[in-house]
Amino acid sequence: MPQQTLAVIIPVFNGAETLLRTLDSVVTQTRQPDEIVVVDDASTNPEMRELLENLAASATYCEIPIKVLVNPVNAGVGAARNRGILAAQADMLAFLDADDWWAPTHLQRSVEDLVRSGATFVASNFYAIGPDKKPVLQNCATIASRRECWNGGHHLWGPRTHYFYRGFIGILTVLVWREALIRAGGFDSQHRYALDWECWHAILASTSRGFFYISPVPTAYYRLSSTGLTSRTMARLAERESFLPRYVKDVAHMGGVWWPVLLFRGWLTVQYETLMPLWHKRAWAQVARVVARAPAAWAWVWWQTLVMEPFGTGERPNFLAMVKSTPALGVRAHEEVAPARLIA
């Protein structure tokens, strides 16, 4: 059986100061990827543009083939990842933002876990690095309760229902079959936040036997930034709430639980996870905003679940089909594969 190929997709926006460190952590893997796809989401920094042009001109980074794509307008990380999915030719895909990095054995362990377990995708524990530079372990495997998480057959505290409550999987640790992402339709490019949480649920919902595996070994490092997505509290809260009606009935059915209980528990957890960081930072004004909006927010989530079908059709769009192709840097236009041709 031929060896499965692997691609790493790196979305970036004005990340010239960290991109090379991220790339170095990729090329020093004990199991190197077969290709790297960097997707620039319309960076405005001239240094970033120069760096990308140099990468594209070389066509390789430390002897690993590299493709550089540039979005004409800033469309968000979901759209950038979707472009990378379509441009990659590998069987397995890993995602790494331009300010995060991996331990040298990350890809090797991930490939072994994916092949051995037969999972749809795998993840692992990781470290979060704050402004104080101290790594804090994110123990995803313990939160999941079980390492092999089947799509159904569990009660209220089962792994997938637990993942509905808490978004404990870090995308920088995920290795997923490209076929599964194509089938699910890629990342939701119409939103900006909690896209990985939504995408993994979409993948699990697209197959009756899909499951994920979480390794307890931490092999990735996530940099917390006060100016990054994690700091945009209210917008992130609203979009996390908007995803709950999309999957609550499917998750409840597979887990054998009553969906109103699952919905309320999921909504309460989102509120709690939003409030706690604000509480510790003594950001009382934002705490008050979260509390004040809660009754109307819960009524909206309930209304959406009861009355409004997601997207008005009851089906998740194929976000990959929405990707507009533009030529890669250093690649002639006729050599670029149009995304529509990759959609089954």
| pLDDT tens for each residue of 132-146 | 888 999 988 887 754
pLDDT digit string, tens, across residues 56-66: 999 999 999 99
pLDDT in the model for residue 326 = 58
Q: Is residue 121 part of a domain?
A: yes
pLDDT in the model for residue 211 = 83
Interatomic CA distance for residues 302 and 7, integer angstroms: 40
pTM: 0.87
User: DSSP characters for 168-191?
Assistant: ---GGG-EEEHHHHHHHTSS-TT-
pLDDT in the model for residue 20 = 95
77 and 1 in contact (C-beta within 8 Å)?
no
Torsion angle defined by CA atoms of residues 146, 149, 154 and 160, in that order, rounded to the nearest 10 degrees: 100
pLDDT in the model for residue 330 = 53
pLDDT in the model for residue 328 = 59
The 3-class SS string of 240-268 reads HHHHHHHHHHHHHHHHCCCHHHHHHHHHH
Q: Which domain holds residue 197?
A: 6-336
Cα 17 to the center of its chain, rounded Å: 22
How far is residue 330 from each of residues 45, 55, 59, 158, measured CA to CA in Å? Answer: 19, 9, 8, 48
DSSP annotation of 198 reads: H
pLDDT in the model for residue 226 = 54
Q: Is residue 344 part of a domain?
A: no
Q: Is residue 1 part of a domain?
A: no
Q: Is residue 343 part of a domain?
A: no
- Ranges 48-52, 89-93, 160-164, 301-305: which has the least confidence: 160-164
* Residue in 34, 29, 181 with CA at minimum distance from that of residue 104: 29
322 burial via Cβ count (<10 Å: 0-12, 13-18, 19+): middle
Q: In what order do the strands lie in the sheet with 92-95?
A: 60-61, 64-70, 35-40, 6-12, 92-95, 175-177, 121-124, 211-215, 148-150
pLDDT class of 162 with cuts at 50, 70, 90: confident
Q: Is residue 74 part of a domain?
A: yes
Q: Is the predicted pLDDT of residue 302 greater than 70, yes or no? A: yes
Q: Is residue 342 part of a domain?
A: no
User: DSSP characters for 99-122?
Assistant: T-EE-TTHHHHHHHHHHHH--SEE
SS3 for 272?
Answer: helix
pLDDT digit string, tens, across residues 272-285: 989 998 998 899 99
* Residue in 204, 187, 205, 184 with CA at minimum distance from that of residue 196: 187
Q: Which residue, chain included where needed, has tokens 């809660």?
A: 294
SS3 for 17?
Answer: helix
pLDDT in the model for residue 147 = 38
Q: Is residue 54 part of a domain?
A: yes
Average pLDDT, stretch 296-320? 83
The CATH number of whichever domain residue 104 belongs to comes to 3.90.550.10
Average pLDDT across the chain, whole number: 85
pLDDT class of 156 with cuts at 50, 70, 90: very low
Token code pair at residue 151: 């799509």
pLDDT digit string, tens, across residues 80-98: 999 999 999 999 999 999 9
Q: Provide the residue type at 333 as one letter.
A: A
SS3 for 290?
Answer: helix
296 burial via Cβ count (<10 Å: 0-12, 13-18, 19+): exposed
pLDDT class of 238 with cuts at 50, 70, 90: very high
Q: Is the predicted pLDDT of residue 127 greater than 50, yes or no? A: yes
Q: How many domains does the chain have?
A: 1
β-pairing verdict for 64-70 and 35-40: parallel
Q: Is residue 341 part of a domain?
A: no
